[in-house]
Amino acid sequence: MKLKDETKILETMGKLTGPALRWYQENLRSFTKWDDAEKALRDRFKEFTLGSQLMHEFFQLYQDENQSITSFYENVIRKYRKARQFITEQQVITVLQSGVKLSLKEYLIRNEKDIRKPEEWLQIAREEEYIQNRIQQQHGDDPCGEKKSSTTRTFHPIFVKIICNNTPQEALIDTGSAITIIHECLLKNIPHKNLIKKTKNHLSANCTTLNVIGETTLEINISGLKTKVIADVATNLITDLILGSDWIQRNKVYILTPEQRIMIRSKGKEVSTPFITPPILNYPATLINHITIPPFSE
């Protein structure tokens, strides 16, 4: 045995403690080369070394500012599954609580006593994220009243490809709409069940009145996952189909803006579909206040 190898083997013994030192001393005579000793040591304590590395990575997980709650949660769970023999569910909750972004942290800390499982944390976090997103969408100028802000904001409607009553369509996903609405013209061109005639008036986001003539049941197919919703039928909708909060909440639809897609988990399945380029929408323009144009003012 070379002196260099012997020196390495003996120096290594001086750096070990506990079970590793005892094991090393018991097997010292079998080491004739440093490479053999190093390999035997790594193989014997490989699981412990890997576990330590995985745990270190796990406790360093943080949510990016533009990352959705669902994406952050899934990232944590993926890491947890790799090291679940070393990590408890309570530690998963600890990482979720400490790693979540600041805008959600205070609310989650206040509700900490109600969280016993990671799934419960996800449900509470999603609800708060949804509320905050709604508040952000409503922040700014109020089209029906007083001007609250002079900041110009660009509205990017979320459109996705779906199959409605076995017919390919493009639908607007609108969290600001409490109901799902389909244009009368589209309904006439697709297979559908009986139209239940009802007269309603809904106020749209731009303060115009929607003329609703009835309601019907629609089958919405997203990437093979079929859902049903009762939709109002309107004659003056700005687009063909709006999937509102009634459909979004009932089917647990998650709008993952950073990933530019929506995701649905239902009946043991998880599907998603990407955002598409919005079509050109023609918005009716109305005046907030009455004006009088004097004669010959042109």
188-199 confidence digits (pLDDT tens): 999 998 899 988
Structural domain total, the chain:
3
Same domain, 272 and 166: yes
Distance between CA atoms of residues 100 and 236, nearest Å: 43
Q: What is the pLDDT of residue 139?
A: 56
Pairing of strands 196-203, 209-222: antiparallel
Same domain, 69 and 8: no
Same domain, 91 and 55: no
Would you say 188 and 195 are in contact if contact means Cβ atoms under 8 Å apart?
Answer: no
User: What b/e string do you get for 214-235 counting C-beta neighbours within 10 Å, with b at 16 or more?
Assistant: bbbebbbbbbebebebebbbbe
- The gap from C-alpha 154 to its chain's centroid, in whole angstroms, comes to 22
78 token code pair:
């993926």
Q: What is the pLDDT of residue 206?
A: 55
- Expressed as residue numbers, the domain containing 253 is 159-276
Is residue 169 situated within a structural domain? yes
Is residue 152 situated within a structural domain? no
pTM above 0.75, yes or no: no
Q: What is the pLDDT of residue 2?
A: 47
Same domain, 93 and 180: no
Q: What is the pLDDT of residue 153?
A: 46
Is residue 293 situated within a structural domain? no
Q: Which residues of the chain form beta strands (DSSP E)? A: 158-164, 167-173, 181-183, 196-203, 209-222, 225-234, 241-243, 253-256, 261-266, 269-276
Would you say 220 and 235 are in contact if contact means Cβ atoms under 8 Å apart?
Answer: no
Q: What is the pLDDT of residue 291?
A: 72
Same domain, 246 and 169: yes
Distance between CA atoms of residues 99 and 75, nearest Å: 11
Same domain, 67 and 7: no
Task: Kindly report, residue by residue over 48-60, the tens digit of the pLDDT.
Answer: 555 566 667 787 8
Mark the ranges of the chain whose per-residue pLDDT is less than 50.
Answer: 1-2, 141-143, 146-153
Same domain, 188 and 253: yes
Q: Determine the 3-state secondary structure of 231 from DSSP.
A: strand
What 8-state DSSP symbol labels residue 27?
T
Is residue 281 situated within a structural domain? no
Q: What is the pLDDT of residue 191?
A: 93
Q: What is the pLDDT of residue 85?
A: 72
Distance between CA atoms of residues 7 and 13, nearest Å: 10
Q: What is the pLDDT of residue 172?
A: 94
Is residue 288 situated within a structural domain? no
Is residue 292 situated within a structural domain? no
Same domain, 53 and 73: no
Pairing of strands 261-266, 209-222: unpaired
For residue 234, give the CATH number of its domain: 2.40.70.10
Whole-number percent of the chain with pLDDT over 90 = 30
Same domain, 225 and 172: yes
Q: What is the pLDDT of residue 259?
A: 83
Same domain, 82 and 18: no
Is residue 297 situated within a structural domain? no
Same domain, 185 and 90: no
Same domain, 169 and 265: yes
Is residue 151 situated within a structural domain? no
Distance between CA atoms of residues 207 and 200, nearest Å: 15
